[in-house]
């Protein structure tokens, strides 16, 4: 009994050894420990630093919005409606006399996290389902692939809008509607990666040494598959934010008077000469999205060097 247990222990160490060796060897450039390597390469990129700074500005201002914002974002002041940018109202006021700057600051608490949520939830669901289907079940794999085929046959936003319209307008409902059409791409990606990795020698070695399925999945496949998926997710964040904003822009997402960037831009559409109502929320959005894109690009170069050549 004892001998068997010992045997298993040795086997496990062997598995661990082989896995770590192989993982390192699969990316020959990674000579230092992975984390310092990543940080070092990041530090060498000035644009990444700028982008991180931009995101920090967003994070700080939206967390501290109640203290930073000069006015109440919902309080109406009809006598001061649609005033152009001035010292009192840096970004002007909207059609109900609300301060645009304050609404942008508060809006950052909704627009950006909602977009993050869409990507994070879809990523988690899609990756898990894809990995399970790719590793274990043929029948699940077949079902999953037909299901994703269906989703890929339609432009996602139109499908999401149809579902979202049926759910009725509300922020969390639009997030759910978006997740429904969003997860298949992650399922496809993770399924594909798992199926490729499954045939690699180090996974077969682990299998040959008697590692359990769970162990193989968690110790050899997931660590190798997670980076490209993570990079894809980061690059996808901007799409998530825009998608949520489209919902609000069309009146399906966040409901008034809650400040949200997409809805704020929509309220400026009819007010041609009052350009500040839609210009500034849009700029805020471009600011965050640009930072995310820059960061995502650099992250791809650093974390997933194979795909960055494309």
Partner 1 sequence: MIFVVTHMIPTDPATVMLGDKATPQVIRAFRQRWGLDRSVYEQYALYMRNLARGDLGVSIRSGQPVTADIADHLPATVELAVAAMLFSSIVGTSLGICAALTRGRWLDGIIRLTSLAGVSAPVFWTGVLLIVTLFYYLQWFPSGGRLSLTLEPPPHITGLYTVDSLLDGNWRLFIDSVKHLILPAISLGAYYMALFVRLARSSLIEEFQTDYFRTARAKGLTTERVLVHHALRNALVPIISYSGIAFGGLLSGAVVTETIFSWPGLGRYAFENALTFDFPAIMGVTLIIGLMYVAVNFMVDVLQVVADPRLRDTL
- Rule CB under 8 A: is residue 302 a binding residue for partner 1? no
Applying CB under 8 A, does 54 fall inside the site for partner 1? no
From candidates 144, 203, 294, 295, binder to partner 1 by CB under 8 A:
294
Within 10 angstroms of residue 83's Cβ, the number of other Cβ atoms is: 18
Which of 156, 192, 223, 305 is close enough to bind partner 1 by CB under 8 A?
156
Retrieve residue 134's tokens.
Answer: 């790719």
Of residues 10, 63, 158, 218, which one binds partner 1 by CB under 8 A? Answer: 158
Shortest distance, CB of residue 239 to partner 1, whole angstroms?
10
Q: Under the criterion CB under 8 A, does residue 272 sit at the interface with partner 1?
A: yes
Please report whether residue 296 would count as binding partner 1 according to CB under 8 A. no
Alpha-carbon distance of 46 to 162, in angstroms, equals: 42
Pick the piece of the chain touching partner 1 (CB under 8 A) from 20-28, 60-68, 117-125, 278-286: 278-286
Residues in 200-259 that interact with partner 1 by CB under 8 A: 238, 242, 245-246, 249-250
167 contributes a contact to partner 1 by CB under 8 A: yes
Nearest to 241 by CA among 186, 276, 282, 269: 282
154 lies in the binding site for partner 1 (CB under 8 A) = yes
101, burial (CB in 10 Å: exposed 0-12, middle 13-18, buried 19+): buried
Structure tokens at 67: 């203290």
The answer to whether the peptide bond before residue 257 is cis (omega within 30 degrees of 0) is: yes
Report which DSSP code applies to 182. Answer: H
64 vs 114: CA distance, rounded Å = 18
Does the protein bind partner 1 through residue 85 (CB under 8 A)? no
Min dist CB 119 to partner 1, Å, is 16
Nearer Cβ to partner 1 (34/282): 282
Least Å distance between CB 200 and partner 1? 25
Q: Which C-beta is closer to partner 1: that of 196 or that of 290?
A: 290
Count of residues binding partner 1 (CB under 8 A)? 41
217: left (phi over 0), alpha (psi -120 to 50) or beta: alpha
CA distances from 219 to 128, 129, 309 (A): 15, 18, 27
User: Is residue 162 close enough to count as binding partner 1 by CB under 8 A?
Assistant: yes
Continuous segment of H or E residues that includes residue 16: helix 2-25
**DSSP structure class, residue 217:** I
Beta-bridge partners for 93? 99
CB of residue 150 to partner 1, shortest distance in Å:
5
- Residue 77 vs 301, nearer CB to partner 1: 301
88 binds partner 1 (CB under 8 A): no
CA neighbor of 219 nearest in space, from 12, 4, 38: 12
> According to the binding rule CB under 8 A, does residue 92 interact with partner 1?
no
Q: Candidates 17-25, 89-97, 222-230, 276-284 — which segment interacts with partner 1 by CB under 8 A?
A: 276-284
Instruction: Mark the segment that binds partner 1 (CB under 8 A) among 15-23, 118-126, 160-168, 214-222.
Output: 160-168
Asked if residue 136 binds partner 1 (CB under 8 A), the reply is no
Contacts 24+ apart (CB under 8 A), 214-222: 215/12, 215/15, 217/131, 217/135, 219/15, 219/16, 219/19, 220/19, 220/22, 220/23, 221/131, 221/135, 221/193, 221/194, 221/197, 222/131
Interacting residues with partner 1 (CB under 8 A): 150, 153-159, 161-168, 238, 242, 245-246, 249-250, 262, 265-266, 268-269, 272-273, 275, 278-279, 282, 285-286, 289-290, 293-294, 309-310
């Amino acid at each position: 009994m004892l001998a068997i247990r010992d045997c298993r222990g040795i086997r496990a160490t062997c598995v661990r050894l082989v896995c770590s060796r192989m993982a390192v060897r699969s990316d020959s450039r990674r000579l230092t420990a992975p984390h310092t390597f990543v940080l070092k390469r990041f530090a060498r990129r000035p644009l990444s630093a700028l982008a991180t700074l931009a995101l920090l500005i967003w994070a700080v201002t939206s967390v501290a919005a109640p203290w930073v914002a000069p006015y109440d974002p919902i309080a109406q002041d009809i006598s001061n409606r649609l005033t152009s940018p001035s010292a009192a109202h840096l970004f002007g006021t909207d059609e109900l006399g609300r301060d645009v700057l304050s609404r942008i600051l508060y809006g950052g608490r909704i627009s950006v996290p909602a977009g993050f949520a869409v990507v994070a939830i879809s990523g988690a669901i899609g990756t898990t389902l894809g990995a399970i289907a790719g590793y274990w079940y043929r029948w699940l794999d077949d079902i999953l692939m037909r299901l994703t085929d269906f989703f890929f046959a339609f432009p996602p936003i139109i499908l999401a809008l149809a579902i979202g319209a049926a759910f009725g307008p509300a922020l969390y409902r639009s997030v759910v509607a978006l997740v429904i059409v969003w997860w298949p791409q992650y399922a496809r990606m993770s399924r594909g990666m798992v199926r490729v990795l499954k045939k690699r020698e180090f996974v077969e070695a682990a299998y040959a040494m008697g590692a359990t399925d769970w162990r193989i999945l968690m110790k050899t496949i997931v660590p190798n598959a997670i980076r490209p998926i993570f990079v894809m997710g980061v690059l996808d964040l901007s799409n998530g934010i825009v998608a949520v904003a489209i919902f609000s822009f069309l009146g399906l997402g966040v409901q008034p008077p809650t400040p949200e960037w997409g809805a704020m831009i929509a309220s400026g559409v009819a007010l041609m000469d009052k350009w500040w109502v839609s210009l500034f929320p849009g700029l805020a959005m471009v600011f965050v999205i640009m930072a995310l894109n820059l960061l995502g690009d650099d992250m791809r170069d650093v974390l997933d060097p194979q795909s960055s050549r494309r």
